[in-house]
Chain A
Amino acid sequence: MVPPVAIVGMSVLLPGAPDLASYWRNLAGGVDAITEVPPGKWDDTHYAPGEQRRADRVYCRRGGFVDELAEVDVTGFGIMPNSVPATEPDQLIALRVAAQAVADAGGPDRLPADRAKVGVVLGRGGYLTPGLVRLDQRVRTASQLVRTLGELLPGLDADRLDAVRQAFTDQLGPEAPESAIGLVPNLAASRLANRLDLRGPAYTVDAACASSLIAVDHAVRELATGRCDVVLAGGVHHCHDITFWSVFTQLGALSPSERIRPFHRDADGVLIGEGTGVVVLKRLADAQRDGDRVYAVITGTGIASDGRTASLASPDSGGQVRAVRQAWAAAGLDPAAPDSIGLLEAHGTATPAGDAAELATLAAVFGTEGSAVLGSVKSMIGHTMPAAGIAGLVKAALAVHHGVLLPTLHCDDPHPALASTRFSTLDAAAPWDAPVRRAGVNAFGFGGINAHVVLEQAPGRAKPVAVREPERVLRLAAPTVDALREAFDRAGTRETGDGPVRLGIVDPTEKRLALARKVLARGRAWRGRNDVWFADRPLLGPGGGKVAFLFPGLESELTLNCGDLARHFGLPWKHADVEVGDVGRQGAAVFELGRLLHAALGRIGVTPDAVAGHSLGEWTAMAVAGVHAEEEVDTFLAGFDPDALVVPGLAFAAIGAPAARVLEELAGRADVVLSHDNSPNQAMICGPEAAVGALVQRFRDAGIVAQVLPFRSGFHTPMLRPYLDPIRAAAERFTLHPPSLPLWSATTVSEYPAAEAEVRELFVRHLLEPVRFRPLVRAMHDAGFRAFVQAGAGQLGSLVGDTLHGEDHLVVAAHSGQRPGLAQLRRVATALWADGLDVGFEHLPGERPAAPKAVKLDLGGRLISLDEQVRARIALPAAPRSTVDDLAAKGPLAAEFAALLADTAELASTVLAGPARRLPAPRELDTTLPVSLETMPYLLDHCFFKQPPQADPGDRWPVVPATTVIDHLMRFAEQAAPGRHAVAVHDVRLSQWITAVPGVTVPVRVRPQGTHRVLATLAGYSQAVVELAPEYPAGAPAPWRFPASAERAPETTAAQLYDERWMFHGPRFQGVTELTAVGERHVRAVLTTPAAPGALLDNVGQVLGYWIMSRLPERTTVFPVAMREIRFHGPHPAPGERLECLVRITGLTEEFLDADMQLVHNGAVWAEFTGWRDRRFDSTAHIRQADRTPERSTLSVEQPGGWALVREQWPDLATRELIMRNYLAGPERDAYERRPPRGRRQWLLGRIAAKDAIRQFLWARGEPEMFPAELRIGNDEAGRPFATGAYGRDLPPVTVSVAHRAEAGVSIARHGPCGIDIEEVVPRAESTVEAALGPGELALFASLPGDPEQWFARFWTAKEAVAKLRGTGLRGEPRDFEVVAAAPEEMTVRVAGREYRVCCADVENPSGAPPRRYVVAWTEETKETAG
């Protein structure tokens, strides 16, 4: 049996996903990362879909590409940037992804120290990869070229031919023989092993598309045999060479329709992708022992081949079945059991044969009982070949870990064979509810090699993700405290800044930032509490204070935690991170810890201005100061006998009182003496056990804290004298050197003497006289020392703090039992920096001096082109010998005739050629686009919201339409390529709306992509690839025709679209003149070109929006998010021109609406749109109504009894944003943003309910129409809500009360006091019930028939409602509000002698929301409460 294997770290680089987090987002969001081949990757002539098949012709050019994402910080990996071009890119990508995976698993420090137990196995194919392609071009193609030219043009001499070869290979860059190793394929794994110092197995495996899972199987076996403790496994494939595509074209495997739709009925082939993925695997038992975060557990793997089958190229179900069964058997599970599996990540290549075989396999192995989800990530990223298995494995592991079932794209009409299995596909992510979440992953490779892996969720509760990366340090410096405050408050401050006033926070959590804010407000120095350091004036550096290292002596318990420090800086350290309880053995450890910390601090640029020690720590100080040579100290420690530190019968005690007081108590006796004067609140005594014990008791009786300590050494007392000789003898053997830095003595409270003899004498005195630590610290402070670094374990720092209490000083410990050494060192660095010292942060992990310089990798296999100058230089003869030339050789008359013919020919060709248009290549362009109502006044007609006329324009929310953005991108592209028109736009992406209020200036970037395309970007908002040409292309397609039977007349007219606000557009965007016809999957309209930029195309979107509104009841609010291609066949029509708009729906899911369109001008297609994608937002008919006529509709529904109930029917964040902006005006939106995220939704519901309740109340009393923005709801100091009018609206006096719970908000408005509350009906603990209800109420409560939970809710809401009406709240005394009568719809509450009647109602969440029941209670209007 193979032990279960845990996946403890993962990372990927896949199309659309540069890292794991973005991969997860794409998976859950159903993102389609397929694009066209990036321009320049192949020669355009290879794409010839209509032509006759040939090896060099492909009929498909869409796939999954990572060119834009392929960046690697090579210097961070110790690789010279100039060796990159010669290196196979997949090796560098594998390095990057593996390093990320290791970091995800906790960092290289968490790998086993014995690196022979760590291995790496990567799946990788033997295809022609970019590095080898370049080498082949350099070696073979150059030679071939020269040979062929020589054969065809014998007139060329050797020099010319050589010039050709040179010119050709020059285009590939200089030769780099030292980097040739970078072309050896298995280095994808070995380079990794080299870099991370992995000494276990490191190799690649090739099983075509099954390679990754084969690699995982190898890893599992290495872990099972115990040869390895950790294995990195995965797959890497970056090969889009035209030869690879040619193979797939010849096999006919590529999709002619250029789509990959796994398990779709009409799936017609594969699209090729590329990528890399690496996972970190450990035996589950080890992962649990080490406290790792486990994504999923691999419980079984299976591998089997098809054997002899009909054809090498066709998949066979038999081999697949065997592999899957083998894996499930290894996991000890029955795959056909109804609850066996929740998610199957299929191989799913979308070839008819592949899908059919796989579905047969699934039916055979998993049976038909139970239900499960089937998926294939190939629908999103293409077929990543040897990396397909790992892409699927990571997807399945993420799904299992997050408990989310993932969608598969484009499967709207599933393969019929799917029905015979228990599987179905999802088109959107869904929660995964199962007792045990289990998944399977298939990978089937060419030639019939099949693999399957079974995964399940990690056992136990999901641990909160421990923060693995090194902690962040926030550092800010400024010239004044005010400037620092400003920098702190400025969101997104990246620069540290400069100046003497400094703030440092380690791991800046919300809590620490809040504390820092308070500290800054006080303006006084704050040193260290809660890992915050602030100095308004530096003590060190410019402040002139000095730094001292203090070395502690022995502690009663010592917890070492500095292994990571030693490893990071490469310093020697042989102790394990454990507790050293035995005082005797501690000595050496304490000593070495002090030296380690001193060395580590030195590495980050912190050196002491003096050293000193406490008790035995003074020896460490001596060694660090160089008084004793390192080797002598090491020898001494090696031979150190801990039992030498015992004087029998003696004990020490620590007393919580000043030394003077202790001496008083000792009153001159000789048996017990003062051994340490540590601080104003601590002194130590030493003497015979019994006497010390008695004294401790005396002190305690007097109320003074006292504790016996476990040391027996007798140091620092005269009692040691008889035992002194062995120690003195050992010390005499030391050679003494003058100290290399000031060394202070705690015996004399001054610096050590210079003379050798005096040093030896002081060494002895130190052992016999008390440690006068407190006076030492005082003296050092007087001598100008301001920072004290505790270079070891224990509480020495707090003694210093106690002594220097009230004076300016900084104390920080360089070692802590609570966190590892590097983390503590980070704090020391921050503390010292904050007080003015220059510290080398770049030597700590996680800190970089500047942004890492990532090098872009070249994944292309471009054909080589020689530029003009080179061609001119080589100047091969242009024309071949012709009959004219032959003629010329035949005699003088013939020669003259030949010359005449040649002249004529030349003249003719000049006339015919015409002026050569020499257009420059597009250039780079960086500029800005100012967006505001001033620069784009037409935006006032593109506002989402209707608001009262006197409202701020910002409340109407003017937004730049997507098509206007595209229009601007096209214009900028044209600016970068003068003389050319923008004739097409590709891969438009719209990520964020551009709001015009407040105005914003958007950076614009245009970057050429080849000779006639540019990538135009509005940073942060959108981008598109714009194709440019001198002329508009001819060859427009014919306009579409729809059969009359498929359409009917629309029910809405174009005028109604705008008058009734089905579309929010104002006059300058109202271009729909006629809605002509609408059908199941299409709509036709007539547009009149408006003048505003982008407005004509925006109207195309409006027509699409009309289609969905007219056909579907819900989620009909749509906005464009992407467009695959827009192509223009002429210049933009002039304003006023009429065009026909034809829209064909190509896809409709819960989340998206896809369509293709044509704009027809004068009978010819002027513009074609392909792949226009709108995103659908939550909206019901009710919500739409509120949106169209906000001045007289409410989102809330008025309830019998006169109160408003609003339900949250918009869990989608973007829709919530829309609703929020509709209801909340200017300052209210700011208040919304400032609210903490938790509870924000409920607060919004409360506000909506309040505004609606007031409006409903006033409308019933004859008030005219009122927009929500004309009301403002505030809360007084007691928290009670109140309403005021805005934008000139005067409100009559009205009182409002609000409550909210989960997905419901309620409110009531009256002229006089009122109260309302809502509570969910849930089980309550008995203690809660008893705390809320008094004895009388409990009796009443017990007597009521029916559901007690519901009654409790009624009791509670009734109390609350009355408490709110009275304006006091419950004040923590619910029993003061006594329920004296209770009925399902009415309650009576007595408080302070008065009785109040309260009405109740039961409410439920609608379907679609989580099932909940609530009770709502509101006060009834009586004579007293009515106004």
Chain B
Amino acid sequence: MADIYELLRGQKDSSGNYQKVPVIVQGITGTFGSLHAKQMLDYGTNIAAGVTPGKGGQKFEGKVPIYNTVKDAVDATNSKVSIVFVPAKFFLGAATEALEAGIKLLVAIPEHVPIRDTMQVIELAKKKDAIIIGPNTPGVMIPGLVKIGIMPASPFKPGNIVVLSKSGTLLYEISNTLTKAGFGQSITIGIGGDPVNGTRLIDAFDMVKDDPTIEGMVIVGEIGGDAEEIVAQHIMDIKFKKPIVAYIAGRRAPKEKRMGHAGAIVMGNYGSAESKISMFNMANIPVAKRPNEVAILLAGKLEKTKD
């Protein structure tokens, strides 16, 4: 599988700094796309090109060239990374175009993408050895270095804790409490709130688990599916020893109701909070009852590893 760190931060140059990898924004002239393209630029992300069919030749913010197709943008910038802001019903087309043009990391922001469309994009991504983050994700970020997503900058600070989250606002909320408690983040990956994810929780875990610089991990899950159970089992199987703390949203939600996210639904016992919490407990991963408790539990876990 492609290396997410290399895709996000490139190689180190001669003075020891990471290159700024070029990023393409698909849907850069839309309301949402332009707002967040601007914010990513402000954060220091190297937005090298935008794509909006019919607007090729124009410039975004007076400097970022816009192309009609992803292929044109890739040819001009040599970019391997794209973030997609198109409306959900156009996602399949936009993502297919990007993967065919050689994009290796595609961050899929749209909410409400039909599951079958996502599944088709995933099939193609497998063939192309590409990573899809999302759909319905806040994106991915290495604080202080690169932000490819819609997350606000303020909750995050560089550090050594990984945060993996199904939810966007809870990612911000929990990262904020971590930052306040002195735990910066090495990388944060939004899995997305859909039933089917391009990068599953276990895939995200595997992408980062061998990074020697990480000191701990926070997994923010929610009701629906069995991604949390599977990652907990995996953590036990590989005997991963670094401290992990989890949080699960939706413990008190009614069954068989979709709670805002397409994926947040308990069907029978499939997807219940109890099932997830008991698996995390088996894997010796404490589960916070409140977002604010995450940093406290993590501090406790880190303290123990020092002994």
Pair from one complex:
no
